[in-house]
Amino acid sequence: MTSPSSSSPLRLGIAGLGTVGAGVIRLLHANADLLHARTGRTIEVVAVSARDRTRDRGVDVSGLRWYDNALDLVSDPDVDVVVELIGGAEGPARALVEAALKAGKPVVTANKALVALHGSALARLSADNAAPLLFEAAVAGGIPAIKTVREGLAADRLLRVGGILNGTCNYILTVMRETGQDFASVLKDAQDLGYAEADPTTDVDGLDAAHKLTILAGLAFGRPVAFDSVHVEGIRHIGADDLAFARQLGYRIKLLGLARMTDDGLQARVTPCLVPQHAPLAQVDGVFNAVVAEGEFVGRIMVEGRGAGAGPTASAVTADLVDLARGQAITLWGVQSGTVEPVRACPISVGEAAFYLRLRVEDRPGVIADITAVLRDCGVSLRSMLQHPADSETAPHVPLVLVTHRTSEAAMQAAIAQIDALSVVTDTPVMIRIEAA
Ligand SMILES: NC(=O)C1=CN([C@@H]2O[C@H](COP(=O)(O)OP(=O)(O)OC[C@H]3O[C@@H](n4cnc5c(N)ncnc54)[C@H](O)[C@@H]3O)[C@@H](O)[C@H]2O)C=CC1
Ligand SMILES: N[C@@H](CC=O)C(=O)O
Ligand code: NA
């Protein structure tokens, strides 16, 4: 481990020179003097590894040692810190991080999939080999989310944590709301801007936010969270009409990741939510993310910033490098002792919420009576309803939007199944939870 008093350079080996890798090299170059002033050391890249040696990345890597095999960074005696920016929970990224930790080399990574799925095993390797593993960029990009939860809120017992954790989804929902464009063309923009994951289904199906929530909740509650205990829904089923209906009802739609400690264990979920339009979370638009936490003493806090893109992510990666250069690195879950067993999970079927339900129904007498009868039988109380006329006199189907009072998840799920089975309901119902935020 590097010594805080050392004034020798901190020498990096970077694997992955895509959006983030190139961004880190650019930042280290642009802010070299400032980083030296803040750490008393030079932070310099000595070696790199990526797939394509010839690609123009807008940064000069010609003077650096090049390895076709990223694992060679670990055995290079001139590399003090391995920076993993390849991505993916398995394959070369995992092999590299494990090898570096086993060799006692500190690792900085932006790889949320890897930390979410293998955090416990990596924490053990990190502890056994006294090799820090830092991953500030893995949660909410440029927002100091990890530091906020693990260090800034270290004194408090947290009750819930989460927020808007995926820039691609927030960008898509924002642009769809503002322009009425369709999902596919907005996703393409997000990819071109470097926000999306290599496989953007990871973003739009909610998995990326779930990776981040898994990590954040683990830090907030001091224990690993099993990734597969997180309930995950994405945004593909949200239409431009849902964004417009939400607006009429006084809400915005956001993909939220939220983890709450309940009497039955930790309930963690990633779901689209209607958020009151004047709530702070509703104002977080575009690629911006927001991390919210609530503690017994501190109350509620929110930190907002850019959750994706080269600059913000490079800023977070480099902040971890500054910690290493200063000799400050903390254990992975922020606890010094005690159990590392995963926290007990509480399924989403336990609990309650208010719900938005958008149906497409046949435009004929008795339809609303059929639907409200199901809600009555399931014990779901209706708060308001929007019924829009058909687009034209001849259109046979009309949208119908229902908003419920708070009710149990189980009752709502039962009602939706029965409503879906009604012959007058023509499309699969779209259900979105309403979150006070
Ligand atoms: N793009 C973003 O805004 C953010 C990305 N991240 C994370 O940062 C990591 C990198 O993401 P991006 O830069 O966006 O990805 P990217 O796809 O732009 O870059 C990946 C790089 O890894 C290289 N690579 C692939 N296989 C390799 C191998 N076997 N050995 C060496 N290099 C290899 C590729 O050549 C490419 O240079 C991922 O874990 C991602 O989840 C985290 C926060 C934000
Ligand atoms: N694909 C991610 C990038 C950062 O984690 C996102 O869109 O937020
Ligand atoms: Na971050």
- Per residue of the chain (437 residues), give pLDDT as tens: 444 446 899 999 999 999 999 999 999 999 999 999 999 999 999 999 999 988 888 999 999 999 999 999 999 999 999 999 999 999 999 999 999 999 999 999 999 999 999 998 999 899 899 999 999 999 999 999 999 999 999 999 999 999 999 999 999 999 999 998 888 889 988 888 888 888 899 999 999 999 999 999 999 998 889 999 999 999 999 998 999 999 999 999 999 999 999 999 999 999 999 999 999 999 999 999 999 999 999 999 999 999 999 999 999 999 999 999 999 877 666 665 555 677 889 988 888 999 999 999 998 888 999 999 999 999 999 999 998 776 665 567 899 999 999 999 999 999 999 999 999 999 999 999 999 87
**Residues 6 or more apart in contact with residue 185 via CB below 8 angstroms:** none
Domain count within the chain: 3
Q: Which residue CA neighbors atom 4 of ligand 2 most closely? A: 308
| Residue whose C-alpha is closest to residue 373's, from 434, 431, 425 | 425
Residue 148 DSSP one-character state: I
Helix and strand tally (H, E) in the chain? 14, 17
Q: Pick the last residue of a domain from 138, 168, 200.
A: 138
Q: Which contiguous run of DSSP H or E holds residue 85?
A: none
| Residue whose C-alpha is closest to residue 284's, from 174, 205, 189, 138 | 174
Nearest ligand 2 atom to the CA of 313 is 4
Cβ 137 vs Cβ 229: under 8 Å: no
Mutate to test the pocket of ligand 1, among 14, 65, 84, 86 (most ligand atoms within 8 A of CB): 86
> Would you state the structure tokens that stand for residue 236, as one six-digit string?
């593909």
Strand segments (E) across 315-396:
352-362, 382-387
CA of 306 to the centre of ligand 3 (A): 9
> Would you state the structure tokens that stand for residue 21, as one six-digit string?
């890798």
Ligand 1 binding pocket (C-beta < 6 A) is 15-21, 49-52, 70, 85-87, 92, 110-112, 137, 141, 194-195, 197-198, 308-309, 313
Within 80-206, where are the H helices? 91-102, 112-128, 145-146, 167-179, 183-192, 201-204
Nearest ligand 1 atom to the CA of 19 is 13
Integer Cα distance of 167 and 171 in angstroms: 6
Has 16 been labeled as part of a binding site?
A: yes
**End-to-end CA separation in angstroms for the chain:** 42
**Residues 6 or more apart in contact with residue 369 via CB below 8 angstroms:** none
Are 108 and 151 part of one and the same domain? no
Are 65 and 152 part of one and the same domain? no
pLDDT for residue 397: 85
| Residue matched to tokens 């004047």 | 278
Integer Cα distance of 80 and 9 in angstroms: 9
pLDDT for residue 4: 46
SS3 377: helix
Are 215 and 132 part of one and the same domain? no
Q: Pick the last residue of a domain from 107, 138, 169.
A: 138
135 lines ligand 2 (CB under 6 A): no
> Would you state the structure tokens that stand for residue 66, as one six-digit string?
């090049």
Nearest ligand 2 atom to the CA of 139 is 5
Has 15 been labeled as part of a binding site?
A: yes
Are 129 and 187 part of one and the same domain? no
Cβ 169 vs Cβ 209: under 8 Å: yes
CA of 198 to the centre of ligand 1 (A): 8
pLDDT for residue 2: 45
pLDDT for residue 1: 46
Q: Residue 80: which CATH number?
A: 3.40.50.720
In a domain, 324, yes or no: no
CA of 96 to the centre of ligand 3 (A): 22
Q: Residue 379: which CATH number?
A: 3.30.70.260
pLDDT for residue 196: 87
In a domain, 262, yes or no: yes
Q: Residue 255: which CATH number?
A: 3.30.360.10
Known catalytic residue at 188: no
Are 197 and 129 part of one and the same domain? no
Integer Cα distance of 182 and 176 in angstroms: 6
Has 20 been labeled as part of a binding site?
A: yes
Are 287 and 172 part of one and the same domain? yes
Cα 340 to chain center, whole Å?
23
308 lines ligand 2 (CB under 6 A): yes
In a domain, 18, yes or no: yes
Q: Which contiguous run of DSSP H or E holds residue 249?
A: helix 240-249
Q: Which contiguous run of DSSP H or E holds residue 84?
A: strand 81-84
Residue of 102, 105, 147, 212 marked catalytic: 212
Q: Pick the last residue of a domain from 120, 138, 156.
A: 138
Are 105 and 167 part of one and the same domain? no
Dihedral pair phi/psi, residue 127, rounded to 5° = -70, -45
CA of 44 to the centre of ligand 3 (A): 22
Nearest ligand 1 atom to the CA of 316 is 43
Bridge partner residues of 158 (DSSP): 295
From residue 103, alpha-carbon distances to 10, 79, 96, 100 in Å are: 17, 11, 11, 5
Bridge partner residues of 299 (DSSP): 295
333: left (phi over 0), alpha (psi -120 to 50) or beta: alpha
Q: What residue numbers bound the domain in which 392 lies?
A: 352-434
Other CB atoms within 10 A of residue 330 CB: 17
Are 192 and 254 part of one and the same domain? yes
> Would you state the structure tokens that stand for residue 100, as one six-digit string?
């570096």
* Nearest ligand by distance to the CA of 140: 3
In a domain, 326, yes or no: no
Are 94 and 165 part of one and the same domain? no
Dihedral pair phi/psi, residue 250, rounded to 5° = 90, 25
Are 166 and 279 part of one and the same domain? yes
In a domain, 155, yes or no: yes
CA of 380 to the centre of ligand 2 (A): 36
CA of 60 to the centre of ligand 3 (A): 26
- Whole-complex ipTM: 0.99
In a domain, 158, yes or no: yes
> Would you state the structure tokens that stand for residue 307, as one six-digit string?
């959750």
pLDDT for residue 9: 97
Has 19 been labeled as part of a binding site?
A: yes
* Torsion sign across C-alpha atoms 213, 219, 220, 222: positive
Are 91 and 52 part of one and the same domain? yes
Nearest ligand 1 atom to the CA of 308 is 3
Are 103 and 51 part of one and the same domain? yes
pLDDT for residue 340: 66
pLDDT for residue 363: 86
| Residue whose C-alpha is closest to residue 73's, from 43, 41, 42, 50 | 50
